């Protein structure tokens, strides 16, 4: 399962894969605005002709990089330790998005850039819609399992709360990477735990 | 208080205010990438020279438009009916962000674009940080009032839950405006209510 989910990243059919990390670097440093066939060639240390050989336009390049980043997260999710109660698995899954390292913080910045670009680009919106749907489906599956094991109130709508969970992670990560001070992952982790405690109606420590 | 909070929007000191709606339109349609002195002049129906008279650069224009949009939301917040229990006021306040009309959906798209741009621009990040801090302070003030009236568990950390609330609204609105189908505001409103129900530990209807 882990192998199957990650297979697209390494499949030979994936054209120009060696250029996609360069696109991600360019987006992380300068936003989508900074992406051009030329800037990607420079960042990848290849000729402009080589970028043009693999991608016909800037839009195609950006879409491929968006897929690339999302496959990276999906690969990490597929590798996840799924042992233990559903709530613990959910916490582990959500933690994958927290900007706990410089690389994760970079991914988060890139993610926000792609989301914003999806507002005005139909192909990017399509990718975004698919990823969001998959994430919500994963979250609501775990919430249903938690209801089955008696850990989550069965009266709750798992689909609505999956959308809220996605919002909490997206929103906290955005706040964290924009926060001026250090301790960003900490801020997001505290918010995430506070949210899960309310969702699962933990007893508060007075 | 309402007048004081809105005053900057109409103050004569605000240079080039008549161009800012045009910037917002350009961002809503094509993202930050589409903003240039020229595209704003075209959208506002004025000469390039007039845009240049008020703003020295594209960056200055974008920063002024970001402030303009946030002042719009702050103006709506200042006009809010603050009668009733803190939870009701909070719900009313959060509702201001939901994309319930075409204009609000446009504002939400623009907001996401500015947030993404803040990732790679220090002046925009400064504006974003200030707005986020003000919003979180407003939310946590209402949460503290709800704790004082006995409507919210006093053991909860109001600052952490204010950050979560901001995340929920930001995240749900982003999902809603990217959703392909209609009923966007509905999706966000259901998520928001589900979150508030858990936060305030409402009795679930079995």
Residue A106's contacts (CB-CB under 8 Å, 6 or more residues apart) are A24, A28
pLDDT of A113: 92
Q: Is it the case that residue A9 has pLDDT exceeding 80? A: no
**Model pLDDT, residue A49:** 96
Contact criterion met (CB < 8 Å) for A177 and B206: no
Q: Which residues of B touch A164 (CB under 8 A)?
A: 168, 171-172, 191, 194-195
| Residue B198 included in any domain | yes
CB contacts of A156 in chain B (<8 Å) are 194, 198, 204
Q: Are residues A56 and A12 in the same domain?
A: yes
Q: Is B45 inside any structural domain? A: yes
Residue-level pLDDT at B100: 86
- The parts of chain B modelled with pLDDT lower than 70 are 1-14, 180-185, 203-206
pLDDT at B102: 85
- For B131, the domain range is 80-206
CA distance A185 to chain B (A): 13
CATH number, domain of B24, equals 1.10.10.60
- Reported as a single tens digit per residue, the pLDDT across A43-72 is 999 999 999 999 999 989 999 999 998 888
- Please give the pLDDT value at position A163: 96
Q: A27 and B115 in contact (C-beta within 8 Å)? A: no
Q: Are B27 and A117 in contact (CB under 8 A)?
A: no
User: Which tens digits make up the pLDDT trace of A64-120?
Assistant: 999 998 888 888 888 999 999 999 999 999 998 888 888 888 888 899 999 999 988
Choose the final residue of a domain: A50, A79, A108: A79
Q: What is the pLDDT of residue A27?
A: 92
pLDDT value at residue A10: 43
Asked if B167 lies within 8 A of A167 by C-beta distance, the reply is: yes
A62 and A103 inside one domain: no
Interface with A, mutate which of B128, B175, B193, B203 (most A CBs under 10 A): B175
User: Closest-CA residue in chain A for B155?
Assistant: A206
Chain-chain contact of A155 with B206 (C-beta, under 8 angstroms):
yes
In chain A, % of residues over pLDDT 70 = 88
In this prediction, residues A137-147 reach a mean pLDDT of 95
- In 3D, which of A9, A70, A69, A17 has the Cα closest to residue A44? A17
Residues in chain A with CB shorter than 8 Å from the CB of B201 are: 198, 201
pLDDT digits (tens, 9 = 90+) for A153-203: 999 999 999 999 999 999 999 999 888 666 667 889 999 999 999 999 875
* In a shared domain, residues A103 and A196: yes
A205 contacts in chain B (CB < 8 Å): 155
Report DSSP state, residue A32.
Answer: G
Last-in-domain residue among A12, A47, A79:
A79
CA–CA distance, A152 with A171 (Å, rounded to integer) = 23
Identify whether B14 is part of a domain.
yes
More confident residue, A9 or B125: B125
B131 and B154 share one domain: yes
Nearest by CB to residue B175, choosing from A163, A194, A201, is: A163
Minimal Cα–Cα distance from A21 to chain B, Å? 18
| Structural contact between residues B87 and B139, judged by C-beta atoms closer than 8 angstroms | no
User: Where residue A26 falls among pLDDT bands split at 50, 70, 90?
Assistant: very high
Whole-angstrom distance, CA of residue B91 vs CA of residue B196: 8
The pLDDT value recorded for residue B181 is 60
Residues A54 and A123 in one domain: no
| Domain at B166, CATH number | 1.10.357.10
Inter-chain touch A115–B155, beta carbons under 8 Å: no
CB atoms B167 and A168 under 8 Å: yes
At a CB cut-off of 8 Å and minimum separation 6, what does B82 contact? B89
């Amino acid at each position: 399962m882990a192998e199957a989910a990650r297979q697209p990243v390494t499949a030979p059919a994936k054209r120009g894969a060696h250029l996609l990390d360069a696109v991600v670097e360019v987006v992380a440093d300068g936003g989508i605005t900074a992406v051009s066939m030329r800037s990607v060639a420079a960042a990848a240390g290849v000729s402009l002709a080589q970028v043009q050989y693999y991608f016909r336009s800037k839009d195609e390049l950006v879409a491929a990089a968006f897929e690339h980043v999302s496959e990276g997260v999906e690969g990490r999710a597929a590798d996840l330790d799924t042992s233990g109660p559903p709530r613990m698995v959910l916490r582990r899954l959500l933690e994958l998005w927290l900007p706990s390292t410089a690389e994760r913080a970079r991914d988060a910045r890139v993610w926000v850039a792609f989301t914003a670009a999806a507002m005005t680009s139909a192909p990017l919106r399509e990718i975004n819609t698919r990823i969001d749907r998959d994430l919500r489906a994963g979250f609501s599956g775990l919430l249903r399992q938690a209801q089955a094991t008696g850990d989550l109130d069965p009266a709750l709508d798992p689909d609505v709360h999956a959308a809220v969970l996605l919002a909490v992670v997206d929103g906290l990560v955005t706040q964290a990477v924009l926060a001026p001070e250090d301790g960003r992952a900490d801020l997001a982790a505290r918010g995430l735990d506070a949210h899960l405690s309310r969702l699962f109606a933990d007893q508060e420590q007075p």
